[in-house]
Structure 1
């Protein structure tokens, strides 16, 4: 048997194995004690917000223009935090989940009418937050043990002061070197999409399984990655309107995802040190890297995986 055939079979086997990351709650406090301090030292302070009355399309345009994965919603006058909208909320609304009812039921499939509804219709109103006197360890606790990728920071009156994300935490931890390799921490139970899969199918899969990205595979070869941000940008950059013939959502969601994938594909390999992978992800401002061997997908490593690995070491 040729060596490439052996590696391909190994890759196929890995993809069918259960994931390696079910390790229970992380004892983060002992690992990150030396990083304790006010959370505002690590957070983004100048946060762009919009009020609840903002039309959905306008919020998506802001997120697309600024490169945001989430947008806090606050009162224009007081700055009091009211909720948040994420790229996952947007793909849910576009056809991936229950928020699509705004399109299908209230507006009987009229996508143009639905995108001009206010954000309060699709935002997440009940938030996990941190106080502005919290420590970075408190943020890690929420991110890892409550599976929240971005945590708003508020003062005692509930006014938004900043936001801290997985990426912010990874910046703190990636200053340390590690003995671990990507193979030790990567998720090997990777769901994938095909280039011809319609946006509706991929959005639904992401919402159903709470994924923010899916590797795209053709003939067993990795050819790209599709993210919730890619799908959101489809709306935010106005490409959606080129597809709207009747105004119906079906015109929008039938597009194959190959039309939305970025031309830049950043990957890593199983033997690479996780510190080097984290630094590269920070440099490229991406949230995940497919792991490949001989062009075959063998796993996926995300910001969440890296943060957890640095703390467990």
Structure 2
């Protein structure tokens, strides 16, 4: 009972925060009246979905075009939520983990055949969801303690009503100031990749350690950052087909990651306030920032780190 009261008070605090970013001046209380639960006040409600029978390549193209990191999977007949596919599932399938078996075993290394197989083969069917009557703090708990970056919202019948992400929560939290610095919040033990590291090697490292991005470093100098979305776009924008000669998966995964890094690199510094860093991340629509001191990489700060830090303030 005490835990529920505490969760309710924290959710009330979030709802009372005035929106100052993308959403403009949002009256969260009026939003809550419109829906059953507080969670719907910050959730994305017009969610694009795919079906279990949708080809993998079609889903990846949709995610790339729309800029999504995840795509809920619904039943073609009933519309019920059946699972989710994320950019992490895609890089797992492309050579990073056990879902690569679809390519290597079922399709005997034929990547072209594998990407035309269905999402049923690689989606995550056991997903965490929240009811549309949930509190915002339920979403925060799922993000911080259940290792998910996005939570589908369903109604009592199991129909998809929306989705809430780390970024949605961070948008609300950054409407208040914070006292912590980046140095107090960042992860200082950072795994990195080299510019000439092949896509397959980087994908395996991401899947093994459950990372969604890796800084790219050469001779102790930060060159950029490679994300799961960058690797997914390699498939979604058709670039991968330029590398295919025989259709074998090895051709796809041999490309050095320097070819996939986006040109613009946004960084922060250890002494910077986390509020200012969070605002910059939202403005640039990025999920993490390398932390630089004296031209050297000293850490990485992510949306997850910021959500956790703001809640602890």
Give the Cα–Cα distance (whole angstroms) in 1 for the partners of residues 124 and 147 of structure 2: 15
Give the Cα–Cα distance (whole angstroms) in 2 for the partners of residues 185 and 235 of structure 1: 34
Give the Cα–Cα distance (whole angstroms) in 2 for the partners of residues 28 and 288 of structure 1: 27
- CA shift for structure 1 position 32: 4.2
- CA shift for structure 1 position 75: 2.1
Are 2:43 and 1:34 aligned? no
Matches of residues 12-161 of structure 1 in structure 2 within 5 Å?
31-35=10-14, 38-161=38-161
Structure 1 residues not aligned, in runs of 5+: 1-26
Q: Greater CA deviation, 269-278 or 70-79?
A: 70-79
Are 2:244 and 1:265 aligned? no
**Can you list the C-alpha shifts for 1:58-91, whole angstroms capped at 9, x where unaligned?**
0000000000000001123432101000000000
Give secondary structure in 1 for the equivalent of 2:50.
coil
Please give the root-mean-square deviation of Cα atoms over the aligned residues, in Å. 1.1
- CA shift for structure 1 position 145: 1.1
TM-score using structure 2 length? 0.90
**Can you list the C-alpha shifts for 1:5-64, whole angstroms capped at 9, x where unaligned?**
xxxxxxxxxxxxxxxxxxxxxx86654442255211100000000111000000000000
- CA shift for structure 1 position 147: 1.4
Structure 2 residues not aligned, in runs of 5+: 1-5, 16-31, 33-37
Give the Cα–Cα distance (whole angstroms) in 2 for the partners of residues 122 and 191 of structure 1: 26
Q: Counterpart of 1:252?
A: 252
**Can you list the C-alpha shifts for 1:139-177, whole angstroms capped at 9, x where unaligned?**
001000111100000011110000000000000100000
- CA shift for structure 1 position 127: 1.1
Give the Cα–Cα distance (whole angstroms) in 2 for the partners of residues 214 and 28 of structure 1: 34
How many pairs are equivalent? 287
Change (3 A) 1:296 1:119: same
**Can you list the C-alpha shifts for 1:117-148, whole angstroms capped at 9, x where unaligned?**
00000000111100011111110010001111
**Can you list the C-alpha shifts for 1:286-310, whole angstroms capped at 9, x where unaligned?**
0000000122100000000000000
Give the Cα–Cα distance (whole angstroms) in 2 for the partners of residues 91 and 29 of structure 1: 38
Q: Counterpart of 1:235?
A: 235
- CA shift for structure 1 position 253: 0.2
Which structure has more RCO (C-alpha within 8 Å, separation ≥ 6)? 1
TM-score using structure 1 length? 0.90
Task: Tell whether the 8 Å contact from 2:11 to 2:135 is kept in structure 1 after alignment.
Answer: no
Task: Tell whether the 8 Å contact from 1:28 to 1:141 is kept in structure 2 after alignment.
Answer: no
Give the Cα–Cα distance (whole angstroms) in 1 for the partners of residues 74 and 312 of structure 2: 36
**Can you list the C-alpha shifts for 1:252-305, whole angstroms capped at 9, x where unaligned?**
000000000000100000000000000000011100000001221000000000
Give the Cα–Cα distance (whole angstroms) in 1 for the partners of residues 7 and 290 of structure 2: 26
Are 2:269 and 1:290 aligned? no
